[in-house]
C-alpha cells in the first residue's frame, strides 16, 4: 500500500526512520539521485551524505530541529533540487519517520540564469544605443547587430561612392528606404538632397506630374505657378523610387529615357531640363516575373539593376531583433515621455516570432506594447492577444494537428532563443540534440 502511494506521487520520495535509516525510496528517486532502492535500503543518511549522493541531508536537519524544512540540494550528478522534509511523530511526540519530497529545478535555474543574462544584455544594448551610429552598425536609424546586416552594410559602403544605379529588393517592411538613405549618406552626393517617392502610393494619373513636374495651366486643377517634379528636385543628390514594380508601363518608357539622357520635360512644357541625380530603386516584387507577364520593361530592368542588393527579412537576421526593439522602445519613450522597458522574457518572445511584417511590424508592435502596458517593466502578460504571435488564427480555430505543431514550434523557438544553440535547446526541451537540431531546422532555419 505504501509503495503504491509513493509511486503515485510525481515528486521523488525518500522515507527514513527516526534514526535516519532508509526505509523506502520511489523509482523516480532512483533515477534522479542515481541510488537504487536496493542500495539505499537500510543505509543511514549520514553515510549517503558522506558518499556525496546529496548534500546537505534534509533528513538530518529535520532530526536535529524537529521542524518541517525546505532546502536547496546539490546532487552527486550535478543536478539542483528543492527538497521538503517533514517529521512524523508517535503519541509521545518522538520522531519515528522522516518523509521528504524532492523536485528537480536544474532546468528552471538554467532558464533563470539565461533570462538574467538576457536582461543584462538588454541593459547593455540600452546603454549602447547612443554608440550604434558607428560605422558598419548604424546610419539614419539603421541598427545592425546581425552578421547578415553588418555584411550588407559593408556591401553598401563599397557601392555608395559610385553613381551606378542600385536596386534594393526584399520583403515589405525590411527597411529598404533606410538602406537607400545609408547609400546616399556614404556617397559623394551626401550634401545634396535625398528625394523619395513611392510609386505604389500615388494614383497613376498623378504619378507623372509628381515625377516630372508641370508648367502652369497644363491641366485642370494644376497649381497656378506650376510645380517642380521629384526628379528635378533630386538634382545633385539621390532619387529613390520605392516600389518600382508598381510604375505604370507608360511611365516606364519615360523613366528609361530620363535615365539615358539625364533630361526631363515638364508636363505642358517644351523645354528640356538637365538633371543630374543618382538613382536607387526598391521593390518587394519579383520583377523578372513581371517582365514575363509584360508588366515591366526588360530594358528598364537592366538599366535599374546595375547593382542588385537583397535586404534579408528580419527572421533571417534574428540578432537584430533585440537591439531594434530596444531602439524602438527608446524612440517611443522619448515621443510619449515614458520610461518603460521590455523584460528579458518579452525580448525572448520577440526573438522567437517570425515577423512576417519585418522591421515595420516590430516597430508597430513595440509601440503598441509601450502604450497599452500599465507598468514601467513590460512582461509577457502585457502581450494580450495570442494571435499576435501566430498566423492570425486563434488556437480554438485550429485542427488538433495544427495546434500541436504550433505548440511545439513555440517551445522550440523560445528554447532556441534562450539557449542560442541546438545543444542548449535540447537540454531545455528534454530531447536529444539531433532531434532538437531537426526541429530548429524545421521551424527556424527553414
pLDDT tops 90 at residue 26:
no
Q: Which of 181, 166, 283, 308 is nearest to 237 (CA)?
A: 181
Highest mean pLDDT among 57-71, 138-152, 173-187, 376-390: 173-187
* 52 grid coordinates: 556525496
pLDDT tops 90 at residue 350:
no
- CA dihedral (365, 368, 369, 370) in degrees, to 10, reads 120
Query: Which of the four CATH numbers 3.40.50.300, 3.30.360.10, 3.40.605.10, 3.20.20.80 does domain 159-312 have?
Result: 3.40.50.300
Q: Grade residue 136 by pLDDT with cuts at 50, 70 and 90.
A: very low
Residue 131's pLDDT is 43
Residue 243's pLDDT is 94
Question: Where are the domains positioned within the chain?
Answer: 2-104, 159-312
- Mean of the per-residue pLDDT values for the chain? 83
Fold for the domain defined by 2-104: Beta-Lactamase (3.30.450)
Q: Grade residue 166 by pLDDT with cuts at 50, 70 and 90.
A: very high
Largest CA distance in the chain: 115
Mean pLDDT of 211-238: 83
Pairing, β 194-198 against β 237-242: parallel
Q: Judge contact between 31 and 39, C-beta under 8 A.
A: no
Query: pLDDT digit string (tens) for 37-50?
Result: 677 777 888 888 88
Indicate the range of 67-71, 152-156, 216-220, 368-372 predicted with least confidence: 216-220
DSSP secondary structure string, 2-13? HHHHHHHSSSEE
Residue 379's pLDDT is 86
pLDDT tops 50 at residue 51:
yes
pLDDT tops 80 at residue 329:
yes
Q: Grade residue 441 by pLDDT with cuts at 50, 70 and 90.
A: confident
The structure's pTM equals 0.60
Q: Alpha-carbon distance 409 to 430, whole Å? A: 15
Q: Grade residue 102 by pLDDT with cuts at 50, 70 and 90.
A: confident
**Residue 56: cis peptide before it, omega within 30 degrees of 0:** yes
Q: Grade residue 363 by pLDDT with cuts at 50, 70 and 90.
A: very high
| % of the chain at pLDDT higher than 70 | 84
Q: Grade residue 387 by pLDDT with cuts at 50, 70 and 90.
A: very low
Tell me, yes or no, if the two domains 2-104 and 159-312 fold the same way: no
Backbone φ and ψ for 87, nearest 5 degrees, come out as -85, 150
Please indicate whether residue 32 or residue 8 has the higher confidence score (pLDDT): 32
Amino acid at each position: 500500500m505504501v509503495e503504491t502511494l509513493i509511486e503515485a506521487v510525481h515528486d521523488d520520495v525518500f522515507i527514513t526512520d527516526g534514526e535516519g535509516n532508509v526505509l523506502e525510496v520511489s523509482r523516480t528517486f532512483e533515477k534522479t539521485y542515481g541510488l537504487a532502492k536496493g542500495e539505499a535500503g537500510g543505509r543511514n543518511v549520514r553515510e549517503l551524505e558522506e558518499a556525496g549522493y546529496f548534500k546537505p541531508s534534509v533528513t538530518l536537519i529535520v532530526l536535529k530541529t524537529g521542524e518541517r524544512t525546505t532546502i536547496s540540494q546539490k546532487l552527486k550528478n550535478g543536478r539542483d533540487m528543492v527538497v521538503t522534509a517533514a517529521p512524523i511523530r508517535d503519541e509521545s511526540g518522538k520522531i519515528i519517520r522522516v518523509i521528504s519530497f524532492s523536485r528537480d529545478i536544474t532546468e528552471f535555474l538554467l532558464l533563470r540564469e539565461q533570462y538574467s543574462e538576457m536582461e543584462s544584455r538588454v541593459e547593455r544594448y540600452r546603454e549602447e544605443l547612443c554608440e550604434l551610429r558607428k560605422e558598419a552598425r548604424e546610419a539614419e536609424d539603421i541598427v545592425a547587430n546581425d552578421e547578415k546586416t553588418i555584411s550588407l552594410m559593408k556591401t553598401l559602403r563599397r557601392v555608395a561612392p559610385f553613381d551606378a544605379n542600385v536596386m534594393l529588393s526584399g520583403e515589405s517592411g525590411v527597411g529598404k528606404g533606410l538602406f537607400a538613405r545609408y547609400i546616399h549618406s556614404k556617397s559623394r552626393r551626401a550634401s545634396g538632397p535625398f528625394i523619395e517617392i513611392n510609386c505604389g502610393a500615388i494614383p497613376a494619373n498623378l504619378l507623372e506630374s509628381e515625377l516630372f513636374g508641370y508648367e502652369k495651366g497644363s491641366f485642370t486643377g494644376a497649381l497656378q505657378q506650376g510645380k517642380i517634379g521629384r526628379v528635378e528636385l533630386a538634382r545633385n543628390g539621390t532619387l529613390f523610387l520605392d516600389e518600382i514594380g508598381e510604375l505604370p508601363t507608360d511611365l516606364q518608357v519615360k523613366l528609361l529615357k530620363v535615365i539615358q539622357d539625364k533630361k526631363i520635360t515638364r508636363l505642358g512644357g517644351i523645354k528640356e531640363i538637365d538633371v543630374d541625380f543618382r538613382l536607387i530603386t526598391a521593390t518587394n516584387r519579383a520583377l523578372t516575373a513581371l517582365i514575363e507577364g509584360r508588366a515591366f520593361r526588360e530594358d528598364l530592368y537592366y538599366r535599374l539593376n546595375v547593382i542588385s542588393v537583397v535586404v534579408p527579412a528580419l527572421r533571417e537576421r534574428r540578432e537584430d531583433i533585440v537591439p531594434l526593439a530596444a531602439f524602438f522602445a527608446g524612440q517611443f519613450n522619448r515621443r510619449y515621455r515614458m520610461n518603460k522597458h521590455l523584460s528579458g522574457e518579452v525580448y525572448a518572445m520577440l526573438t522567437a516570432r517570425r515577423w512576417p511584417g519585418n522591421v515595420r511590424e516590430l516597430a508597430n508592435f513595440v509601440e503598441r506594447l509601450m502604450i497599452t502596458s500599465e507598468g514601467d517593466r513590460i512582461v509577457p502578460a502585457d502581450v494580450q492577444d495570442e494571435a499576435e504571435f501566430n498566423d492570425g488564427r486563434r488556437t480554438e480555430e485550429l485542427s488538433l494537428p495544427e495546434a500541436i505543431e504550433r505548440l511545439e514550434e513555440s517551445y522550440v523557438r523560445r528554447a532556441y532563443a534562450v539557449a542560442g544553440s541546438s545543444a542548449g535547446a535540447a537540454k531545455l526541451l528534454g530531447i536529444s540534440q539531433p532531434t532538437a537540431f531537426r526541429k530548429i531546422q524545421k521551424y527556424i532555419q527553414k
